[in-house]
Structure 1
């Protein structure tokens, strides 16, 4: 699982947003736009239910056909990820306990992990993995409300789309509760897009990414299209110019994943997209650790989010500026939980 942060030149972002969208090419089918309300469209409830049922049947038929036509690589990946989840669980990984008794935390642990995860970058500007725990980075977070928008590839049927929406909506409420920042699932016009795509669809997603984030670097599109099989999911967050305040984010989750890995990706990538951009091998108990010990957001991770959005911290702060304040906030939070 990977996370990236990029800055987009302000002029380039605004100019490209006003230009015509790139010529359409092969791409995943986005989720259908919400249909007009009955009172707006003049349709009766019975007519609306019939139309919805017809759309669902069409979507399910398209999903079944897409699965039948899926490439050998995509089908092989379903088996690969099912085996990977089983192997991880057999080794005691992908734990789901929120407050594990074998991993106590104190003020210094919480402070150290916050610095490693929120004030370091997993990847450099060229997309290469940084060494030594990541490079120094300013504190980053969202200023405007986060509006999560779901987009699905054709292979995701209606029931799976509905389940994803429920799960993401519930997790959005959890993120909002932890941060005190508005986070919700939107029907459209989102600034944080969560894409669920098959291997075939992901490799053709370039034109859609260019529409979602005008000015997106070509190297980011290349990373998503060529995502390493070992990466179950990834997230890219963007700011305008050199501002350390996020304006857009895109998370990508493989449609081939089995249920627990899907949920783990929702937890990690959406939380990383809030501003906890790095992973640390020393962070425990945490999803921000590539050892996959924990599948779901822990109390430790919720505290990191709470610290990140504390008003005493400001976007752009360096480690030297932020660390004493982080230590104070960590002490207060842990004292409250005793």
Structure 2
């Protein structure tokens, strides 16, 4: 697969999972009868997780999300392939339901637009860099990450490519395989930030949460609501999110 160009017109968001210190979709309205305090909190959570990144670099204050089908290429160079694929397939099934996107696995790298790389820690950066025109310099550039994900956007709007890297030897030794798969796969959908203010949540590196909470799922559903458009400004998006929540949820 040709490497993506992360040029000036391409925004890049980098997420990380599990810092070195540790690491039934409801179809009925989720917020029926909810008070204003919870709505306020969820709007704040949406703002924190969608419009910021874990590395302190502000996004461009616009909505970024996938609108085309996601084609996952599983590049498993090390580790227990059956377990790696099982964890990924289980979470992908949930994300399909939350987003309404077509998400499928493809057998060839040339057909993929989400490259999921499992390799040993000493080789992972090199394996991931094969998919990037602007390579990662090394683990020092990842600020203490255990696993990581990044996405590129077309015309500074819709996400059209993503790469996730997981050092399988390290995550297996720490029991963090599920944590990394769930957090990174979710974040490259356009939810790049982690925040200690969102708790409990997979978007909080100091929370023991492993699977998506109801509120985490709600953030994904809000982002992929048809009322939230790609390229929508921060101010407009937060206004629409509040309206959706006050109406009972997406």
TM-score of the pair, normalised by structure 2: 0.78
TM superposition outliers: structure 1 runs of 4+ over 6 Å: none
- Aligned residues of 1:251 and 1:270 also touching (Cα < 8 A): yes
CA apart distance, 1:293: 2.6
* Gaps in structure 1 of 5+ consecutive residues: 1-5, 12-80, 89-93, 95-103, 124-128
Q: Which has the higher helix share?
A: 1
Q: Distance in 2 between matches of 1:306 and 1:117?
A: 13
RMSD (Å), alpha carbons: 2.8
- Please name the residue that 2:53 is paired with: 121
Larger radius of gyration: 1
Cα deviation 1:250-308 (Å, max 9, x = unaligned)? 00111121274110001100000000011122112211112133122111111001000
8 Å contact kept, 1:281–1:291: yes
Residue 149 in 1 paired to residue 73 in 2?
yes
Map residues 317-328 of structure 1 onto 2, 5 A cutoff. 317-328=232-243
Q: What is the rounded CA distance, in whole Å, between the counterparts of 2:246 and 2:195 in structure 1?
A: 21
- Residues 132-281 of structure 1: pairs in structure 2 closer than 5 A: 134=58, 137-153=61-77, 155-156=78-79, 160-188=80-108, 189-205=111-127, 209-210=129-130, 212-213=131-132, 216-218=133-135, 221-223=136-138, 225-226=139-140, 230-240=144-154, 242-256=155-169, 257-258=171-172, 260-281=175-196
User: Gaps (5+ residues) in structure 2?
Assistant: 11-17, 24-34
Q: Distance in 2 between matches of 1:229 and 1:323?
A: 30
| Separation (CA, whole Å) in 1 of partners of 2:97 and 2:231 | 23
Give TM-score, length-normalised by structure 1: 0.59
User: How far, CA to CA, are the matches of 1:277 and 1:203 in structure 2?
Assistant: 20
**Cα deviations across residues 136-155 of structure 1 (Å, max 9, x unaligned)?**
531100111111111122x4
Classify the secondary structure of the residue corresponding to 1:106. helix
CA distance in 1, matches of 2:59, 2:93: 31
Query: Is the contact between residue 52 and residue 193 of structure 2 (CA under 8 Å) also seen in structure 1?
Result: yes
